């Protein structure tokens, strides 16, 4: 039994010895050679370039001029000469009003004016007569002459006041006729003949008429703050409207507000649109697009080189074989490229594919 156990142990020992002899360093080297070697990350050299990007934003076509017409004085509509869609010319009569109280006031003012004219005529004649008489010494006392002069001056002042009162009432009567302030189209009518009208809040909750100048329209867009610096007066824009989806129209920016709207944080820009044929309707929504160009040469990098983390936006610069995160701000984007602004200089070496896992100080092969 002991001899059998010893024989078995010898066989096991010999097996381990043979296995140890078969293990060779060359085989280990071949195995290690099959392990993948990590490739050096791709780098780019920072350059300045001009970037162009297509920018699309909703806009609106509005009337070049629009006015809501109210009655200056309270009264009743006697005659209405226009309706919705009526084409009118400047100073054309749109409607007339009746105001009996105003007519009575005008008659009273006219009577006062005639009375004051008669009083002044009499006092002026008396004063002139005393002046002629006083040329003979001792005939007219100085006191009488002064009183006549004072009476003449008082009557003249009253006459001027009567004239002013008459002009005021007469001017108010002119407001009974409402005329068009410019050429245009009546787009709203909120009254009928016999309606009681007056100034806003005093007899008229809504305007009597709304007049729009539609022969020329304004294309209005609100440009976000981040893009407002890329637009300037004279830039060309194109736009489409839903009523004519197959057509593309061109226009040039004629006005920029030069300030940001406090609520929308955007700049208002306008283009004039010729509309003498009436093909566009005021209030039409348009899809406006234009090409934005960077004003000066700026640094342009692939989008993959920019990392947007929760804390900051940065690129990774390679300095002496080590990574350095550089905070930047982005600008225009076009295709796969983006403008960047930060503490960068031309010919800096950046990683083409940056990652927030690459921290400052990491060795870059």
- Percent of the chain surpassing pLDDT 70: 87
Residue 19's pLDDT band, with cuts at 50, 70 and 90, is very low
pLDDT number for residue 9: 53
Q: 209: closest CA among 174, 244, 184?
A: 184
Per residue in 181-196, pLDDT tens? 999 999 999 999 998 8
What's the 3-state SS for the chain? CHHHHHHHHHHHHHHHHHHHHHCCHHHHHHHHHCCCCCCCCCEEECCEECCEEEEEEEEEEEEEEEEEECCCCCEEEEEECCCCCCEECCCCEEEEEECHHHHHHHHHHHHHHHHHHHHHHHHHHHHHHHHHHCCCCCCCCHHHHHHHHHHHHHHHHHHHHHHHHHHHHHHHHHCCEEECCCCEEEEEECCCCCCEECCECCCECCCCEEEEEEEEEEEEEEEEHHHHCCCCCCCEEEEEECCEEEEEEEEEEEEEEEEECCCCCEEEEEEEEECCCCCCCCCCEEEEEEEEECCCCEEEEEHHHCEECCCCEEEEEEECCEEEEEEEEEEEEECCEEEEEECCCCCCEEECCCCCCCCCCCECC
CA atoms of 196 and 76, how far apart (whole Å): 5
- For the chain, which residues make up each domain, given as ranges? 100-175, 209-293, 297-351
Q: Cβ contacts of residue 81 below 8 Å, gap of 6+? A: 93, 94, 95, 96
Structure-derived torsion over alpha carbons of residues 175, 181, 187, 191, reported in degrees to the nearest 10: 0
CATH number of the domain at 297-351, please?
Answer: 2.40.420.20
- Out of 17-21, 68-72, 113-117, 167-171, pick the least confident: 17-21
Q: Cβ contacts of residue 266 below 8 Å, gap of 6+? A: 222, 223, 224, 225, 228, 260
35 Rama sector, left if φ>0, alpha if ψ -120 to 50, beta otherwise? beta
On the question of pLDDT at 173 being above 90, the answer is: no
| Phi/psi at 265 (5° precision) | 55, 50
CA atoms of 161 and 155, how far apart (whole Å): 10
Per residue in 68-110, pLDDT tens? 999 888 889 999 999 999 999 999 999 999 988 887 888 888 8
**∠ Cα 204 208 210 (to 5°):** 130
What is Dmax (Cα atoms) for the chain?
184
CA atoms of 62 and 66, how far apart (whole Å): 9
CA atoms of 357 and 316, how far apart (whole Å): 11
Per residue in 213-268, pLDDT tens? 999 999 999 999 888 888 889 999 999 999 999 999 999 999 999 999 888 889 99
| 186 DSSP β-pair partners | 211
CATH number of the domain at 209-293, please?
Answer: 2.40.30.170
CATH number of the domain at 100-175, please?
Answer: 1.10.287
Tell me the pTM: 0.66
On the question of pLDDT at 35 being above 50, the answer is: no
């Amino acid at each position: 039994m002991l001899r059998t156990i010893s024989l078995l142990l010898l066989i096991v020992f010999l097996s381990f010895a043979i296995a140890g002899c078969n293990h060779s360093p060359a085989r280990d080297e071949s195995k290690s050679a099959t392990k993948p070697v990590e490739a050096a990350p791709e780098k780019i050299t920072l350059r300045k370039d001009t970037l162009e990007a297509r920018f699309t934003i909703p806009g609106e076509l509005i009337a070049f001029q629009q006015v809501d017409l109210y009655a200056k004085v309270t009264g009743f509509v006697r005659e209405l000469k226009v309706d919705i869609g009526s084409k009118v010319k400047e100073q054309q009569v749109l409607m007339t009003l009746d105001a009996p109280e105003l007519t009575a006031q005008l008659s009273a003012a006219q009577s006062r004016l005639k009375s004051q004219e008669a009083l002044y005529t009499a006092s002026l004649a008396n004063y002139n007569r005393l002046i002629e008489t006083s040329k003979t010494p001792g005939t007219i006392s100085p006191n009488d002459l002064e009183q006549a002069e004072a009476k003449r001056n008082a009557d003249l002042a009253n006459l001027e006041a009567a004239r002013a009162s008459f002009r005021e009432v007469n001017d108010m009567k002119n407001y009974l006729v409402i005329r068009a302030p410019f050429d245009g189209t009546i787009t709203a009518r909120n009254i009928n003949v016999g309606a009681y009208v007056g100034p806003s809040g005093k007899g008229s909750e809504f305007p009597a008429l709304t007049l729009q100048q539609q022969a020329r329209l304004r294309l209005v867009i609100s440009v976000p703050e981040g893009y407002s610096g890329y637009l300037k007066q004279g830039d060309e824009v194109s736009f489409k409207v839903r009523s004519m989806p197959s057509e593309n129209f061109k226009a040039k920016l004629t006005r920029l507000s030069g300030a940001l709207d406090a609520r929308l944080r955007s700049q208002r820009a306008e283009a004039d649109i010729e509309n003498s044929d009436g093909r566009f309707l005021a209030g039409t929504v348009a899809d406006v697009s234009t090409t934005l160009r960077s004003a000066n040469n700026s640094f342009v990098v692939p989008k993959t080189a920019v990392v947007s983390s929760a804390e900051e936006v940065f690129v990774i610069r390679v300095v002496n074989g080590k990574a350095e995160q550089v905070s930047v701000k982005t600008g225009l984007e076009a295709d796969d490229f983006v403008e960047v602004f930060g503490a960068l200089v031309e010919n800096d070496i950046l990683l083409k594919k940056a990652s927030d896992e690459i921290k400052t100080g990491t060795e870059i092969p």
